[in-house]
Structure 1
Amino acid sequence: MKNTPSDPVPLLQELIRCRSVTPAEGGALTCIENLLSAHGFRCHRLTFREDGTPDVVNLFARIGTGSPHLCFAGHTDVVPEGPAENWTYAPFAAEIADGFIYGRGACDMKGSVAAFAAAALDYLRGAGGLTGSISFLITGDEEGPAINGTAKVLDWMRANGHIPDHCIVGEPSSVDRLGDTIKIGRRGSMSFLVRVEGRQGHAAYPHKADNPIPKLARLIDRISTAKLDGGNAHFDPSTLAVTSFDVGNPAGNVIPSRAEAKFNIRFSTEHSFASLQTWVDTQISVVRAEVGGAWSVSVSKGADAFITTAGPFVSLVQGAVAAATGIVPRLSTSGGTSDARFVKNFCPVLEFGPTNATIHQVDERIAIDELRATQSVYGRIIADYFSSAL
């Protein structure tokens, strides 16, 4: 690259031009690897696979060998662009217009990757030496199944002595203005599919059939109006959303033999996978005792709820963001899931990045001023981290 490595703009443009729609690497990890290795980082290209899932290429890069060890975790895979003709500028062209860089991944989250890389290189040049370590965990599987990405890289890191002391995940956490929000945790996610078997029959002779629809409808009414909890100091009340009710029946004069429904629970630390499964099983038992039927349920465990408790690391990052932006960020657990759910099993983790107004949208973009300001915030976090005694 002709430009200085501390300028995140050309780096982000280069990353956006890599068509790394999950799980394709698209050259994005090669770009980061070339940049970091040229500045002393030891890079490891890690490819993982599992039956029934695509191969995923990941990157781990580290400079330094000791503690304190600060890791930046992120991803260069992006969601599909959708109809390209709906974009003002080609989604992988990284055009600059009116002070913005346009392109898929500009905010989520190639912008954060570029900003942190630039901030880290600036720090290394200016510090005159590093006491401790800086590392990058960059996956190509965050927007996909998340099976062959961060979780397996972390296992490799543990096996090879690379677990950090603390981690920043570069998710676009800011809502209205850069610096207004830090994610200190996430709700858990758990999905259920409930099926009721009946007996098919003619709608004119319902007594000769066994209609599963009213049975399942009674359960759905019961659980969709239930209060799971009242929330707590860090989490809003848990929620249950019914996402599907299907009988696979195109005929208007036939009682179907089967009905099934899907629902998702987003839950706080008031619950666990086991407690929620027990709760759902109890609701089914109550309804089954009332109306009978042959019931079955299958469960998909998405992510457990977690919180990074208040302490020196949270205070340091919150203070650095406030010093760099003039805003005291709120500490939030809102939103869906992220790869922080894997990192939290190994070290304290926070999420911080630019505003998220256009993520996954047509004309995804980031203001150049915001990109450079994000670099400045990361730079302040790095400097404060290595000058403190966490």
Structure 2
Amino acid sequence: MSAAPFSPVDPVDLTARLIRCPSVTPADAGALDLAAALLEEAGFAVTRIPRNGVPNLFARWGARDATRRFGFNGHTDVVPVGDGAAWQRDPFGGEIVDGVLWGRGATDMKSGVAAFLAAAVDFVRRTPPADGAVVVTLTGDEEGPARDGTRAILDWMAAQGEGMDVCLVGEPTCPEALGQMMKVGRRGSITAYITAQGVQGHVAYPHRARNPLHGLTALLGRLVTWPLDAGTAHFDPSSLQITTIDCGNPANNVIPAEARATLNIRFNDAHTGTSLSEWLRSHAAAVEEETGIRLSLRTEISGESFLTAPGDFTELVAAAVEAETGLRPEASTSGGTSDARFIKDLCPVVEFGLVGQTMHQVDERVPTAQIETLKAIYGRILAQYFA
């Protein structure tokens, strides 16, 4: 007996409706309501998982203990629009002009969310797997601190006995053409906040003062010239970047009492966040001894480096992308961080999505044809996974 006919979900229309929800982190503005309604209508069991004011959603079609459980992950929150007057189109209008969809989140990543929601709903309606489950996890805290988003969902899943055997994250991954690249890992990220404590005084009498900037700049100079590594088999060399130096001193004839700096290291699998914290502290201790300037240091590790090893899952994604686009995606670990850094502790994770050229920019936009192709790719991945 054939399945009852149904109308496929239009991923372009769904993306436009999501864009019209001004869900700047951590506001939801109705975005998760749209997703929940679509999933519930298709038979998904939907659970809201708010934590500390952050909206999150977990949805599962099929049994909790299914033999095969395929997961999608994404976020509905977006970054601020910046100067709204600089936009050619309403950043929350979701307008389609000459085959291009405009708005904040068009690329990062309401289009990816819409594409995998549409693919998942159509799949379970058309060819529901007898022994499988499809899981969708959505957060409103990816562009923000990321403490109460996907982390909260994973904590809840562990407590409830929920799981995923593989997970696809719909972040934009392609540099110039859809199909060019998928992410099979990410560098880790550690931020260091450094405070140098000296003694304030008159610049004409330096012997009566101790300049904290001299100790701070000595440390920073040492760190930026120290080679961390030359790269590894799957990762580029680690990168240390100073992001700010400040002492809050408006006077040109006063030695300040205190100075601060912040730096970030994006690191490969030659390091861990802990090893880099120790490395930073050892250099701070050495400069403190040399200069007499007291240097204190606080670190925040937002994610460790990871790699999803080549195997059945990475090949499945690559083959589906190539079948729909004609391009064999490069398996890359480049770029920033994503919520894949949390999911990798649960199951193998791969990221694939749209071309990311306009993400976070004024006039963020995407050709509608790319959204339709992305849905086809996700649908093919589901069909092959459960074949």
- Per-residue deviation, 1:100: 0.6
| Residue 227 of structure 1: aligned partner | 227
User: 2:54 is paired with a residue of what secondary structure?
Assistant: strand
User: Residue 124 of structure 1 contacts residue 130 of structure 1 at CA under 8 Å; is this kept in 2?
Assistant: no
State the one-letter code of the partner of 2:203.
A
Tell me how far 1:124 sits from its aligned partner. Answer: 2.1
Q: Is the Cα–Cα contact under 8 Å of residues 67 and 165 in structure 1 kept in the other structure?
A: no
Residues 281-290 or 242-251, more deviating: 281-290
| Paired amino acid for 2:40 | S
Q: State how far apart, in whole Å, the 1-side matches of 2:366 and 2:260 are.
A: 43
CA-CA distance at 1:129 after TM superposition? 4.4
Contact 1:246 1:260 in 2 (8 A): yes
Letter in 1 for 2:62: G
Residue 38 of structure 1 corresponds to which residue in structure 2? 41
Aligned-residue Cα RMSD (Å) equals: 1.3
Equivalent residue number for residue 52 of structure 1: none
Deviation at 1:301, TM superposition (A): 1.4
What amino acid maps onto 1:72 in structure 2? F
Structure 2 counterpart of 1:44, one-letter code: T
How many angstroms apart in 2 are the aligned matches of 1:93 and 1:246? 39
- Write out per-residue CA displacement over residues 213-264 of structure 1, whole angstroms, 9 at most, x where no aligned residue: 2222111111111110111111100011111222221111111112222111
SS in 2 for 1:242: strand
Counterpart of 2:360 in structure 1 is: 360
Find the residue that maps to 1:335 and give its secondary structure.
coil
Please tell me whether residue 218 in structure 1 is matched to residue 221 in structure 2: no
**Aligned in 2, Cα 1:130/1:362: closer, same or farther, shift over 3 Å?**
farther
Deviation at 1:161, TM superposition (A): 2.0
Instruction: Indicate the residue corresponding to 1:6 in structure 2.
Output: 9
Q: More displaced, 361-370 or 292-301? A: 292-301
| Shift of residue 285, structure 1, vs aligned partner | 2.3
Tell me, in whole angstroms, the C-alpha distance in 2 between the residues paired with 1:126 and 1:360. 36
Task: Report matched runs for 1:327-346 at 5 Å.
Answer: 327-346=327-346
Which of 54, 57, 66 matches 1:56?
54
Alignment CA distance shift 1:128-1:265 (3 Å): closer
The CA distance in 1 between the partners of 2:36 and 2:75, in whole Å, is 13
Q: Deviations over 1:131-173 (max 9, x none)?
A: 3000100111111111211101111112212210000010001
Cα distance in 2, alignment partners of residues 18 and 193 from structure 1? 35
Aligned to 2:351: 351
Confirm whether residue 181 of structure 1 aligns to residue 181 of structure 2: yes
- Post-superposition offset of 1:274: 1.5
| Partners of 1:200 and 1:364 in 2: CA distance | 48
Contact 1:321–1:329 under 8 Å retained in 2: yes
Contact (CA 8 Å) 1:9, 1:368: kept in 2 or not? yes
Query: Deviation string for 1:270-324 (max 9, x for gaps)?
Result: 1011111111122122222322222211111121111111111111111111112
- 1:122 deviation in Å? 2.3
Give the corresponding residue for 1:67: 67
SS at structure 1 position matched to 2:51: strand
Between 315-324 and 338-347, the greater mean CA deviation after superposition:
315-324
Q: Give the aligned residue type for 2:327.
A: I
Secondary structure of the 2:286 match is helix
1:29 to 28, 32, 55: 32
1:272-291, aligned counterparts within 5 Å? Answer: 272-291=272-291
- AA of the residue aligned to 1:342: F
Amino acid corresponding to residue 184 of structure 1 in structure 2: V
- How far off is 1:83 after superposition? 2.4
Read off the aligned partner of 2:185 and give its amino acid letter. Answer: G
Amino acid of the structure 1 residue aligned with 2:375: Q
Q: Is the 8 A contact 2:129 2:386 kept in 1?
A: no
* 1:5 Cα offset (Å): 4.0
Q: Please give the alpha-carbon distance, in whole angstroms, between the structure 2 residues aligned to 1:294 and 1:39.
A: 61
TM-score by length of 2: 0.95
Structure 2 residue 274 is matched with structure 1 residue 305: no
Distance 1:295 1:370 in 2: 51
- Alpha-carbon offset, residue 128 of structure 1: 5.1
- More deviation, 339-348/242-251: 242-251
**Number of the residue aligned with 1:207:** 207
SS in 2 for 1:341: helix
Amino acid at match of 1:61: A
SS at 1:322's partner residue?
helix
Asked whether the 8 Å contact 2:49–2:152 carries over to 1, the reply is no
TM-score (norm 1): 0.95
| Identical amino acids, percent of aligned pairs | 49
SS in 2 for 1:82: coil
Equivalents in 2 of 1:290, 1:129: separation in Å?
A: 67
Aligned partners of 2:245, 2:88: CA distance in 1, in Å? 38
Contact 1:104–1:364, Cα closer than 8 Å, also in 2: yes
Q: Which amino acid aligns with 1:58?
A: N
* Alpha-carbon displacement from aligned partner over 1:320-352 (angstroms, at most 9, x marks no partner): 111121111001111111111111111111111
Q: Would you say the 8 A contact 1:48–1:148 is kept in 2?
A: yes
Distance in 2, Cα, partners of 1:318 & 1:285: 47
